[in-house]
Structure 1
């Protein structure tokens, strides 16, 4: 297992190199650079050129990229020209709201999708199954920002059950923290639940007609035990893959939701940095989020062996 984990970690190195190169290239191609944002609209072309030269952005691309990637490897991710903090410090500050929102949304998604997917698979072809599939398709097709605005109006603006927007740190209490996160987490969770419901239903249907399920029923086991112990356990690897992809997308895809609800997470930091052309922050966020995503996938691969021993690395 340790040897397998080591190989997987080494295989992440080329991925991170490619991502870092692409992220740096895209930011490098933005016209004007950070100087145009620092100096403002009234700055002349000569002033912008002089400041870019002072900041080192007039050097060749590969020289700039080499300096940046060497700094990253040494723990120096650069500094924000507008927030006047190191990128690593900003990532630590803005990561906590994002990961809290992602975890809360994932819990809501699982709370909705697991029973709905199991019931839909068990009641295949019935009105319950058709309704569950239809609802999941609608949830997948509904734009996330539209759902967020609808929930904001329904739960915050008109009924005043939850705050309209904003964020409460964990230091203010878990209840207050979750109260501010509930509506945005519900919005994200519903979208992810739509995807997970279809995956759980599909994986359960593949299992429920296997011979060992018929054998378990023939032995007189209760249907609930057959469904949860034998069915869900054998469908778990596929479901785990779907959950891993879902959680990864939650970490990387909260930009719109965080902007709508004014949550100071990585999404908000990214949008503000793009508007200000805060190059090192943009590059740092892209690299950091990609690293999180690949680590989630690595964790899923490791968990396979615990869910199903047949999938343990090196097992024949």
Structure 2
């Protein structure tokens, strides 16, 4: 197992290298640069060129990239020009709200999606199945920010059950923490639940007509025992893949939701850094969330062996 994990990790290194190149190239091509943001719009071209020379942004692209990537490998991700702290400290400060929101949204998505997908697959062709498929399609098609606004109006503005916006740290209490996160997590969770529902239904439909399902029924097992013990267990790898991809997209795709609900997470940090042309923070956040997404997929690959013994490394 350890050798398999090591091989999977090594296979991810080229991906991270390509992502670092793309992230640096995109930021390198942004017009204006940090010098313009630092000096203001009234700065002369000579002043901007002088500051770019001082900051080292007048050097060739390859030289800048090698210098930046070498520092990243040493744990130095650069300094924020506006926050006056290192990029890693900024990420460490803004990441907990994003992680809390992603975990809460993922829990909501699993609670909503997995039972609905199981029942829809078992009752294939019935009114419940058609309703579940229609709702999941609507959830996939509905823009997340629009759903967030509807939930905000209904749950926070009209009924005032939850705060409209803001964030409470975990040290203020778990209840208060979840109270502020519930509406944004629900909006994200519903969108992800639509995807997981469809994947759960499709995965179960692939196994419900296998011979071992008929064997389980022939043994006299109850129907739900057959579905859970034989059906869901064999469909688990596909469901696990959907959950892993969903969690990765939650971590990397909460920018709009965090901005709408004024949550001080990585999304707010990214938007502010883009507006200020804080290039090292932008590069650091892009690289960090990409690494998270890649390692989530690695964790899913490792969990396959625990969910389904047939997929364990070394088995034929």
Q: TM-score, normalised by structure 1?
A: 0.99
User: What is aligned with 2:205?
Assistant: 205
Tell me which residue corresponds to 1:184: 184
Structure 1 unaligned spans of 5+ = none
Q: Secondary structure at the match of 2:171?
A: helix
Root-mean-square deviation (Å): 0.7
Distance (whole Å) between structure 2 residues aligned to residue 31 and residue 131 of structure 1: 48
Compute the displacement of 1:202 (Å).
Answer: 0.4
Q: Tell me how far 1:198 sits from its aligned partner.
A: 0.4
Distance in 1 between residues matched to 2:35 and 2:124, nearest whole Å: 61
TM-superposed deviation, 1:215: 1.1
| 1:129-187 deviations in Å (ceiling 9; x for gaps) | 00000000001100000000000000001111000001111111111110000000000
Specify the SS of the correspondent of 2:42.
coil
1:5 alignment partner in structure 2: 5
- Deviation, structure 1 residue 275: 0.8
1:59 match: secondary structure: coil
Cross-structure match for 2:166: 166
For 1:90-129, list aligned pairs within 5 A.
Answer: 90-129=90-129
What TM-score comes out, normalization by structure 2 length?
0.99
Separation in 2 of the partners of 1:275 and 1:204? 46
Following superposition, the deviation at residue 12 of structure 1 comes to 1.5
Gaps of 5+ in 2: none
What is aligned with 1:274? Answer: 274
Deviation of residue 44 (structure 1)?
1.4
Could you tell me how far apart the structure 1 residues matched to 2:227 and 2:84 are?
A: 56
Over 3 Å off, 4+ runs: none
Residue 73 of structure 2 corresponds to which residue in structure 1?
73
Cα drift, residue 94 of structure 1: 0.8
CA contact (8 A) 1:32 1:48 kept: no
The 8 Å contact of residues 162 and 183 in structure 1, kept in 2 or not, is answered as: yes
Instruction: State the alpha-carbon separation in 2 of the partners of residues 60 and 240 from structure 1.
Output: 44
Q: How many aligned residue pairs are there? A: 316
Aligned equivalents of 2:272 and 2:235: distance in 1? Answer: 42
1:169-248 to 2 correspondences below 5 Å = 169-248=169-248
Q: Matches of residues 24-173 of structure 1 in structure 2 within 5 Å?
A: 24-173=24-173
Q: How far apart are the structure 2 equivalents of 1:314 and 1:261? A: 48
The Cα of 1:118 is off from its aligned counterpart by 0.6
| Alpha-carbon shift at residue 49 of structure 1 (Å) | 1.0
